[in-house]
């Protein structure tokens, strides 16, 4: 079974959504993945400047077969999610956007950049990753 290397982009203001997404992925049968995301306690956050932080994020995204982004409205205003989208596009990585659960508003920036947009449910997310992974 293929292991999908994924980068999950998220805002640290919404860590509960990230944790729920990881639980969805872990619960899916016949799906192996490696998470290249930047955890909250990762030393990357202590990069001395924005350029070095962007380079560190690029190193995280480079080996990935897909970038998964939670498309909540907050993402539109997140500097780093926008940079992660830019990096993914530069590296030719497919972007999977996840519509937030029970939310009417999504980020236009994220949805416009996505190769596929899916709802907040484990199977559709995993299937989108499988369909779009490099």
Check residue 1 and give its pLDDT: 84
Residue 82 pLDDT greater than 70, yes or no: yes
129, 96 in Cβ contact below 8 A?
A: yes
- 94-117 pLDDT tens trace: 999 998 876 667 888 899 999 999
Question: C-alpha 95: how far from its chain's center?
Answer: 8
Q: Sketch out the chain's domains with CATH numbers.
A: 3-132 (3.40.50.9200)
Question: C-alpha 91: how far from its chain's center?
Answer: 14
pLDDT band at 22 (very low <50, low <70, confident <90, very high): very high
pTM for the complete prediction? 0.89
């Amino acid at each position: 079974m293929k292991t999908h290397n994924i980068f999950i982009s998220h805002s640290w203001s919404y860590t509960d959504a990230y944790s729920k997404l990881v639980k969805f992925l872990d619960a899916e049968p016949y799906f192996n993945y490696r998470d290249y995301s930047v955890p909250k306690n990762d030393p990357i956050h202590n990069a001395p400047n924005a350029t070095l932080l962007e380079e560190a994020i690029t190193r995280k995204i480079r080996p990935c077969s897909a970038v998964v982004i939670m498309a909540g409205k907050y993402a539109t205003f997140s500097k780093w999610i926008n940079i992660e989208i830019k990096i993914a596009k530069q590296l030719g990585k497919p972007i999977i956007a996840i519509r937030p659960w029970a939310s009417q508003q999504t980020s236009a920036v994220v949805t416009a950049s996505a190769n596929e947009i899916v709802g907040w449910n484990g199977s559709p997310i995993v299937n989108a990753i499988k369909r779009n992974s490099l």
